Every structure is written in C-alpha cells, then in structure tokens.
Structure 1
Amino acid sequence: MPIPASPQRGAAALEFALTLPLLLILIYGLAAYSMLFVLQQQLTLAAAEGGRAAMRFASSTTARDSAITAAIRQGVSGWPTARQNLVNVQIRPAGGACPANLTCLAIVVTYPYAAQPILPSMFGLPYPTTLSSQAAVQLDQLVLN
C-alpha cells in the first residue's frame, strides 16, 4: 500500500525560494556599502596627507599647492587610473576662526561616485552621487630677520 503524500512536502524548497532573494540583497548591500566606506576612508586619509604636505611649504604657495596635490594623488594611487583622474582637489582659505598671524587652509577632496561606481546599483540601493572629504590645516608664518 503506498504512503499518502504529506501536506508539508516541498515546504522547505518554497521557504528557500522566498528567502534567497532577501539573502542575496543583504549580501550585495553589505559588499557594496563596505566598499563605499573603504573608498570614503581612502579619501579622508588622502586629504589628511595633503594637510601634512601643506605644513612643509608654509611660505611658497605654488610649491605648497603642488605638494598637496601630489600627496593626495599618492593617497589614491592604489585606485584604477580612471578613478584617479576623477579625483578633484580644491585648496582654499579655511573659514572660521583663524588667528590673524596664521594661514588656515581647507583641503577638499571630492570623487564623483555616480560617474565611476565600484559596484553597479542593483536592487534599488541608494548610492551617493559624490564622496568628499576635507582636511583643515593651520600654517605658521615664518618671520625671518
């Protein structure tokens, strides 16, 4: 005599089919956002290196700006060339309270993430259009007699 079919037959396959898309979205989102945070951290470290480079050239504006840009380019040198070329560096006077006898600079590093994302946007996950980081540096003016 044959065994009658159980009403629970195939329930595990159905549950797996329903939960697999959610699991894949979760894994993809985790990978995409962690790579995004790594990229943001690299921009922050590059801006900080630009600030350190600015301190070595307090009096010469041209040499200082070149050193800042070179330090930032060095900070993102591990990126593919297409991404390195999209990094924008702005060096401008820092706002806020800066003593009269000092020079304060703001070094802003931006990357248009929408133009060159690490992973394509899938599953409708929101990505920022631009990543940016800023470093502020206070330079002493050397007085030579």
Structure 2
Amino acid sequence: MRGMRGDERGAVAVEFALVVPVLLMVIFAIVEFGLIYNAQIQVTASAREGARAAALGAPLAQAKSTAVAAAPSLSPALTAENVSVSPASCAPGTNVTVTIVNYRLNSISGMFTGGIELSGKAVMRCGA
C-alpha cells in the first residue's frame, strides 16, 4: 500500500495547477458581472432621477445635471452629453423621456477589451 501512495505523490499539485486557472476565470467573471450589473442599476436610476426632475418642471440643463449627479460612483463619470431629455419642455399631462446613452464601462478583468456600453431610460408624466 505504501508503494502506491509514493507513486501518486505530486498528483494533487498537478491537479491544483490545472484547476486554478479555471477557478480564477470564474471568479473574475462573477466580479465583472457584478460590477456591470451595479453600473446598469446606477445608469437606470440616474435616468429615473433626471426624468423626475424634468417632470417636476426643471429646465433641461437642470434635469441633465440631476441625472449626472444621481450616479456619483460611476467610473468613468456620466456627463451631460450622455443624457438625452425629450421633449425639451414638459407640458402638464405629457410624458418626458430621459435616456442615458453611450455610457461605456471599462472592463477591469480585460474580458471585454472595448468596454461595455450601457444605457438607461425612464419615462414620467409631467406634473402641473
């Protein structure tokens, strides 16, 4: 029995060396997905806050700045160029749409070399 154990010496190290790269890829994929999902939630919440501001009668520039300010932890940060408000003025009883476009999230693991493009959209009825 002892002779057979000696023949298997080092097999665990070889198996470990074969499994570790796969495990690391799975861990990086989970972390990357979590970061992308978190950024998508922030982009959508940002659009919602911009739509809320526009629906309450805020000027176009203020609605855009409200949307940008609603996602302070995004990296790279949102800019006013990423925010689209339609229509420019909000008449009571109509809908205002705020869309976050062309927001590119950089990949931390390198799995997505060009980054991920995220967008968010919110529609609210304009108030009096």
Q: How does 1:1-145 map to 2 (within 5 A)?
A: 4=3, 6-57=6-57, 63-80=58-75, 82-85=76-79, 88-93=82-87, 102-113=93-104, 116-122=105-111, 129-140=116-127, 142=128
Q: Distance in 1 between matches of 2:16 and 2:81?
A: 43
Q: Distance in 2 between matches of 1:117 and 1:55?
A: 32
8 Å contact 1:56–1:64 — kept in the other structure? no
Q: Distance in 2 between matches of 1:129 and 1:118?
A: 7
Q: Distance in 1 between matches of 2:118 and 2:109?
A: 16
Cα RMSD after superposing both structures: 2.6
8 Å contact 2:28–2:109 — kept in the other structure? no
Specify the SS of the correspondent of 1:91: strand
* Corresponding pairs, count: 122
Consecutive aligned runs of 4 or more in structure 1 exceeding 4 Å deviation: 125-128
8 Å contact 2:107–2:113 — kept in the other structure? no
Indicate the percent of aligned positions where both proteins have the same amino acid.
25
- Which structure is higher in helix share? 2
Q: Distance in 1 between matches of 2:10 and 2:78?
A: 52
Bigger CA radius of gyration: 1
**Which ranges of structure 1 fall in alignment gaps of 5 or more residues?**
58-62, 94-100
Structure 1 stretch displaced more, 101-110 or 84-93: 84-93
AA matched with 1:134: K
Structure 1 stretch displaced more, 3-12 or 71-80: 3-12
Specify the SS of the correspondent of 1:84: coil
TM-score by length of 1: 0.71
